[in-house]
Amino acid sequence: MATHPFDRAIGLTAAAEQPNTWHGHSSPDYWNMVGPFGGTTAATALQAVLQHPALLGEPIALTVNYAAAMGEGPFTVVAEPVRTNRSTQHWRISLMQDTSGEAIMTATAVTAARRETWGVNDMPMPAVSPPDGLPRLQFSTSAWTQRYDMRAVRGMIPRDWNGACQGGDRPEEASLTQLWVRDDPPRPLDFCALTAMSDAFYPRVWLRRAVRVPAGTVSITTYFHASSQQLAACGDGYLLAQARGQVFNNGFFDQTAQICSAAGTLLATSSQMVYYKE
C-alpha cells in the first residue's frame, strides 16, 4: 500500500549519531504560500514525541511557536523529555533547518497516562447540516488545501473582498466558521492528523473584515481530550471543525477552535495567536 501524503510529510528518521534527534524533509504536498502548512509542522513536532522510546502515555497538550518560515529541504527535530512524573511527562521540542543552530520552530508538549474517572462534556456539538449534502470547498492557492476534503456549514471565504463586516447586526458571530473536514485521500484519524486539522482554518481576519491581508500563525496550543482508541473509532470519516476569532488588536488576533467527531465526541480544542498586517 502506498504511503499516505500526510505520513510522508511528517515522516522522521532517527539520527543514529545523536539521541533525541530525528531528520525529516519538507513536503510539496502540504506547501502553503511561503512554506509548509503550519498544521503539518505542528504534527511533525508531535511525531517526534510519539516516536521517542521514552514516551509515557498519550498527548494531552501541544504548544507550537513558529519562529521563522521553513524552507524547502531537509530539517532536524530534537525532542527531549525534560521531566517525567508518575502520570505526566513534559517535553521540549525544536526544529532546525540550517547549520546556524537557530530554531525555526519551538514547542512544548505534555503526555499523560490517562485513567478512568468521572467525566462530562460541557460543550456539546452544534446542530449542523451533514457533510454529504454540502459541496466541497474549492481552493486554488495552496497545495495543502487539496489534501483536505472541506465542506462548509457557515463562514465560507468571502466572495466580495469589500472591507464590510460580515456579521451584519451580530458582529460577534462574524468570524465564526463551521466546516466538515477529513484527509484527502481518506486516512484513519490519529493524534498527528488531529493536530494538523486543528489548524485547518483560513485567517479569521479575512472573514471578519472581508479584506485579504497578510496573516500567519505565531503560536498555537492544541488540547487533546480523546484517547487513541476514541480517535481510531472515528476511522477516516469527517470531523466537524469550528473556529472563531475573539480579539483583533494591534496586529494580532486570537482564535479558538473545537474539533468533534461525527458522533458528537469533542476530540480536541485549540487556541492560537495570529499576526496580521493592514
| Torsion sign (Cα): 232, 234, 237, 240 | negative
- 210 and 98 in a single domain? The answer is no
User: pLDDT value at position 162?
Assistant: 82
- 34 and 147 in a single domain? The answer is no
| Cα 4 to Cα 20: distance, rounded to the nearest angstrom | 25
Q: How confident is the model at residue 207 (pLDDT cuts 50, 70, 90)?
A: very high
Mean pLDDT of 19-26: 96
Beta bridge partners of 88: 112
- 164 and 244 in a single domain? The answer is yes
**What's the whole-number average pLDDT of the chain?**
93
| Cα 25 to Cα 100: distance, rounded to the nearest angstrom | 18
Question: How many of the other CB atoms lie within 10 Å of CB of 60?
Answer: 16
User: Does residue 16 or residue 22 have the better pLDDT?
Assistant: 22
233 falls within a domain? yes
| Residue given cell 543552530 in the structure block | 101
pLDDT in tens, 29-71: 999 988 899 999 999 999 999 999 999 999 999 999 999 989 9
Single out the residue in 78, 112, 146 at which a domain terminates.
Answer: 112
Q: Which of 216, 267, 255 is nearest to 38 (CA)?
A: 216
Q: How confident is the model at residue 4 (pLDDT cuts 50, 70, 90)?
A: very high
- 25 and 143 in a single domain? The answer is no
User: pLDDT value at position 273?
Assistant: 98
| Cα 158 to Cα 259: distance, rounded to the nearest angstrom | 23
- 39 and 153 in a single domain? The answer is no
Q: Which three cell numbers stand for residue 142?
A: 495552496
Mean pLDDT of 127-156: 92
- 57 and 145 in a single domain? The answer is no
- 95 and 139 in a single domain? The answer is no
166 falls within a domain? yes
| Residue given cell 447540516 in the structure block | 129
| Cα 172 to Cα 188: distance, rounded to the nearest angstrom | 35
Percentage of residues in the chain with pLDDT exceeding 70? 96
120 falls within a domain? no
**Is 80 exceeded by the pLDDT of residue 173?**
no
Single out the residue in 112, 140, 157 at which a domain terminates.
Answer: 112
User: pLDDT value at position 68?
Assistant: 93
User: pLDDT value at position 1?
Assistant: 52
123 falls within a domain? no
Q: Strand 177-183's sheet: what is its strand order?
A: 13-14, 21-25, 74-84, 88-96, 103-112, 58-66, 215-224, 266-276, 252-261, 239-249, 177-183, 148-154
Mean pLDDT of 96-121: 92
- 231 and 272 in a single domain? The answer is yes
- 179 and 243 in a single domain? The answer is yes
**Is 60 exceeded by the pLDDT of residue 169?**
no
- 86 and 186 in a single domain? The answer is no
Phi, psi of 184 (to 5 degrees): -130, 115
User: pLDDT value at position 90?
Assistant: 98
pLDDT in tens, 78-108: 999 999 999 999 999 999 998 777 999 999 9
126 falls within a domain? no
Domain with 199 in it? 131-276
- 182 and 46 in a single domain? The answer is no
- 180 and 91 in a single domain? The answer is no
CATH number (domain holding residue 150): 2.40.160.210
Question: Residue 38: helix, strand or coil by DSSP?
Answer: helix
158 falls within a domain? yes
User: Does residue 251 or residue 210 have the better pLDDT?
Assistant: 251
User: pLDDT value at position 160?
Assistant: 84
Q: Quote the number of domains for the chain.
A: 2
